[in-house]
A and B are shown apart, each in its own frame.
Chain A
Amino acid sequence: MKRMRWLALGTAALTAATLAGCSSSAPADGGTAAKELTVWVMGDSSAHFDALVKPFEDKTGIDVKTVAIPWDSVDQKFTTAVASGDGPDVLQIGLSKLRTYADSGALLTLDDAALSGHENLAASNFVDGVAGDATAIGGKVVSVPWVSDTRVLFYRSDILQAAGISTPPATWDQLRADAKTLAGRGDGSYGYYIPQWDSVLPVIMTWDQGGDIVDSQGKIDFDTPAFGKAVDLYTGLYADKSVPTNSDFDQTQGFITGSTPMLVSGPYLAAAISQSAPELAGKWNVTTVPSGAKDTSLLAGSNLGVWGSTKNKDGALQLLDYLSQPDVQVSWYQSDGQLPTVKKALADSALTGDPMVSVYTKQLASSRLLPLVPNWDGETGKALLDALNSIVLTGANRDDALKTLFTTTAGTPAN
């Protein structure tokens, strides 16, 4: 009996020591906490972000610590933070993750009362599609818009000209025909590029056919004629041999080498092309997405949220307010290439003077959010891609694959 007690005592002591070791790492006194903010920035923009918040640090005396979270490990970092309760003060949230994060209950509610006194954060300042209630989850706002992103059609004007195509395709039918023409240039040449990991493109195609993937009850529903047309378009591009089938195809290289002279992507691709192939300037351009019944594109991007248990709520809100200033948003576009979400910033001459940006802003006006489902990347979007890719890559039966998609996604809440 006695030795059991020894063992138990030892275990308890060790556990206590371990726990004490863990908890002591968090700063305990409010004095230093008020002078510090930890911000999670997704992707590799942390150096630019440091420069962006420098004036804020100088003005308020708050030390902003930027932590870059690679896109690949976003889920893992967030999950660990929720489990340990030890998150950052402010974090960037990709819109496709917004509902998951809101559901976790880890984010501070940013309703009008919480935002009062921070005039830059009023919903009316932001692009309508993402502001306020547009990104509320269950009636609760947990984030403010930060950067917007829309998809436009990139095309190589020189290659299209050489193939006798004088203007970029205005409709998806034209695009399919042009892509076929361009693919006929020879071996290793294609007309269009479909990223096999991009679950949004089929949704954009459905919207453009005048349809939606959400039914009147606010549930995901792919079983519509418009989606059927989008599937025909998607699989048709593969059937025409207009798109590469290998999954490791590099979209930037494909565009630069001219192997895939057309694709739908975001402004970040423009930055990548200008950087890695400045000699191509003038040989490529962007235009709004091809239309069907409509010319709707995706309104994506990121919002900013405040961690619920932050010790520096005031500082965090001050930072959000600073980041929503029109001039700060413009300088973020200039340093990192990300489009603003503040209307005044979008109307700034620094942006409107650039013909490409005017295409983006025009497209933004007819863009919409992806349905805010509980887990787009891991569930709904994955099921959509699995269905389409199994048809085009492994020759799976179209009706069977779609039926699987309908049943696995039916009833997913999207409001």
Chain B
Amino acid sequence: MTRSPRTPGHEAMKNRIVPYTFIAPAMLLLIVFGILPIAVALLVSFTDMNLAGLGNWSRIQFIGGDNYTALFADPDFWQALGNTALFAVVGVPSVIVLSLAIALALNRSQGRFFRALRSFYFVPAITAIVAVALVWGYLYNTQFGLFNYLLSLVGLPPVPWLSDPTVVKFSVGLVAVWRGLGLNVIIFLAALQGVPKEYLEAAAIDGASGLRRIVSIVLPLLRFAIFFVTITTVIAWLQFFDEPFVLTKGGPLGSSTSIALFLYQKGFSSSQFGYASAGSVVLVAIIATITIVQLRLRRSDVDH
């Protein structure tokens, strides 16, 4: 930095302040809506805060790590954690593979029909979850649902889509995959626009098959888009909430309860805010760890 001979201190400070004024609004938003709530949750997780404490702060007691001890001894918590792990392990690859496949198929043409089809695939992402739940709830209904009617046409017995503790996980997951596709298809389509046509044409002239071109040219060039979609999808599935909340309320017997839904039940249905905060701190830690691992893997990938 060069100092002006006239007013050295003033100029230097001005130069130093300018960048901060640009990022200040973003910083403030991040602190108020991002960091502050996590800090508050951390603080609350060491107390026995409940509805009574919320009304009158003097009734809140500091209880140290008791919430965490109770949480790790709670079978419901472990069940929710296991469910969430299953949702993420099955859901994330399904969403990525399916949305990539759909994007590749939609990208074959710029025709009017294909453009209409793109918006069609985006519809689930913008439809209100309540409407989605209502429609899927009827599709899945054991007595008058469309799915069981279709099964009966080919002579198959009815499936308890939302009543069986095992089947319900996949029924709820299917709705979430269906809902998650739209946005990721759009991201992949945007990334596909960035693949230079010259590469593909050159490869075609060299006699590379369609599949060969996708595997050797398109996918490597989409690497960053796939990475981005993977990270956001993993986080979304770890925070999985909407579909089980509106379709099953986490039932039957907690078999579709995700961690986020468990926290909601403890926080808002049982008013155990301290306990729910402890759970949310654990969830933040899990998501942060997994995301950092993913970022590390990505970094080593670039170094090669």
- What is the 8 Å Cβ interface bit string for chain B, positions 158-171, against chain A (1 contact, 0 not)? 00101101000000
Which A residues are in CB contact (< 8 Å) with B144?
A: 253
| Complex Cα gap A6–B21 (Å) | 9
B51 touches A103 (CB 8 A): yes
Q: Which of A54-87 contact B (CB under 8 A)?
A: 75-76, 78-79, 82-83
| Complex Cα gap A14–B162 (Å) | 47
A76 touches B28 (CB 8 A): no
Cross-chain contact of A378 among B32, B163, B252, B270 (Cβ < 8 A)? B270
Name the distance in Å between B252's Cβ and chain A's nearest Cβ. Answer: 5
- What is the 8 Å Cβ interface bit string for chain B, positions 104-129, against chain A (1 contact, 0 not)? 00000000000000000000000000
- What is the 8 Å Cβ interface bit string for chain B, positions 232-272, against chain A (1 contact, 0 not)? 00000000000000001001111000000000010011110
A104 touches B52 (CB 8 A): yes
Which B residues are in CB contact (< 8 Å) with A18?
A: 32
Name the distance in Å between B49's Cβ and chain A's nearest Cβ. Answer: 10
Cross-chain contact of B160 among A11, A15, A246, A377 (Cβ < 8 A)? A246
Cross-chain contact of A11 among B31, B137, B163, B269 (Cβ < 8 A)? B31
Please tell me if B142 contacts chain A, counting CB pairs below 8 Å: yes
Please tell me if A124 contacts chain B, counting CB pairs below 8 Å: no
Q: Which of A152-190 contact B (CB under 8 A)?
A: none
- What is the 8 Å Cβ interface bit string for chain B, positions 21-58, against chain A (1 contact, 0 not)? 00010011001100000000000000000011011100
Given contacts A245-B160, A248-B137, A248-B141, contact A3 B54 (CB under 8 A): no
Please tell me if B154 contacts chain A, counting CB pairs below 8 Å: no
Q: Which of A374-394 contact B (CB under 8 A)?
A: 375, 377-379, 386, 389-390, 393-394
Cross-chain contact of B165 among A3, A259, A394 (Cβ < 8 A)? A394
Please tell me if A20 contacts chain B, counting CB pairs below 8 Å: no
Please tell me if A235 contacts chain B, counting CB pairs below 8 Å: no
- What is the 8 Å Cβ interface bit string for chain A, positions 1-17, against chain B (1 contact, 0 not)? 01100110011001100
Interface secondary structure of A, over-half rule? helix
A378 touches B31 (CB 8 A): no
Name the distance in Å between A365's Cβ and chain B's nearest Cβ. Answer: 33
Given contacts A248-B137, A378-B269, contact A106 B55 (CB under 8 A): yes
Q: Which of A75-122 contact B (CB under 8 A)?
A: 75-76, 78-79, 82-83, 100, 103-106
| Complex Cα gap A141–B16 (Å) | 63
A105 touches B13 (CB 8 A): no
| Complex Cα gap A204–B72 (Å) | 35
Nearest-neighbor residue (CB-CB) of B160 within chain A: A246
Given contacts A10-B28, A76-B268, A79-B268, contact A104 B142 (CB under 8 A): no
| Complex Cα gap A254–B142 (Å) | 12
A393 touches B165 (CB 8 A): yes
Nearest-neighbor residue (CB-CB) of A101 within chain B: B51
Name the distance in Å between B93's Cβ and chain A's nearest Cβ. Answer: 29
| Complex Cα gap A101–B265 (Å) | 17
Q: Could you tell me how many residues of chain B have their Cβ less than 8 Å away from some Cβ of chain A? A: 34
Q: Which of A228-255 contact B (CB under 8 A)?
A: 245-250, 253-254
Name the distance in Å between A372's Cβ and chain B's nearest Cβ. Answer: 15
Which A residues are in CB contact (< 8 Å) with B24?
A: 7, 10
| Complex Cα gap A78–B13 (Å) | 50
Q: Could you tell me how many residues of chain A have their Cβ less than 8 Å away from some Cβ of chain B? A: 39
B143 touches A79 (CB 8 A): no
Given contacts A3-B20, A7-B20, A82-B54, contact A247 B252 (CB under 8 A): yes
Cross-chain contact of B140 among A78, A105, A248 (Cβ < 8 A)? A248
| Complex Cα gap A51–B174 (Å) | 44
Cross-chain contact of A393 among B51, B141, B252 (Cβ < 8 A)? B252
B54 touches A378 (CB 8 A): no
Name the distance in Å between A391's Cβ and chain B's nearest Cβ. Answer: 11
| Complex Cα gap A134–B163 (Å) | 38
B251 touches A247 (CB 8 A): yes
B52 touches A246 (CB 8 A): no
Cross-chain contact of B52 among A76, A105, A379, A386 (Cβ < 8 A)? A105
| Complex Cα gap A378–B55 (Å) | 19
B163 touches A245 (CB 8 A): yes
Please tell me if B17 contacts chain A, counting CB pairs below 8 Å: yes
- What is the 8 Å Cβ interface bit string for chain B, positions 191-220, against chain A (1 contact, 0 not)? 000000000000000000000000000000
Name the distance in Å between B265's Cβ and chain A's nearest Cβ. Answer: 7
Name the distance in Å between B131's Cβ and chain A's nearest Cβ. Answer: 15
| Complex Cα gap A24–B137 (Å) | 42
Which B residues are in CB contact (< 8 Å) with A7?
A: 20, 24, 27
A393 touches B140 (CB 8 A): no
B17 touches A3 (CB 8 A): yes
| Complex Cα gap A382–B163 (Å) | 17
Given contacts A106-B55, A378-B269, contact A253 B160 (CB under 8 A): no
Cross-chain contact of A386 among B32, B140, B143, B253 (Cβ < 8 A)? B253
A249 touches B20 (CB 8 A): no
Cross-chain contact of A250 among B27, B55, B143, B254 (Cβ < 8 A)? B143
Cross-chain contact of B55 among A82, A246, A254, A389 (Cβ < 8 A)? A82
| Complex Cα gap A105–B142 (Å) | 44
B253 touches A105 (CB 8 A): no
| Complex Cα gap A259–B142 (Å) | 13
Which B residues are in CB contact (< 8 Å) with A79?
A: 51, 54, 268, 271
Please tell me if A196 contacts chain B, counting CB pairs below 8 Å: yes
Name the distance in Å between A258's Cβ and chain B's nearest Cβ. Answer: 13
B270 touches A103 (CB 8 A): no
Which B residues are in CB contact (< 8 Å) with A105?
A: 52, 55-56
Not counting A7-B27, A248-B163, A393-B252, a sample of 17 additional A-B residue pairs whose C-beta atoms are within 8 angstroms of each other reads: A7-B20, A11-B28, A15-B32, A79-B271, A83-B54, A104-B52, A106-B55, A246-B142, A246-B162, A247-B160, A247-B163, A248-B143, A253-B144, A377-B269, A379-B270, A386-B253, A393-B163
What are 20 A-B contacts with C-beta separation under 8 Å?
A6-B17, A7-B20, A11-B28, A11-B31, A75-B271, A79-B271, A82-B54, A104-B55, A105-B55, A105-B56, A246-B142, A246-B162, A246-B163, A248-B140, A375-B270, A378-B265, A379-B270, A386-B253, A389-B252, A389-B253
B residues sitting closer than 8 Å to A (CB atoms) are 13, 16-17, 20, 24, 27-28, 31-32, 51-52, 54-56, 137, 140-144, 160, 162-163, 165, 248, 251-254, 265, 268-271
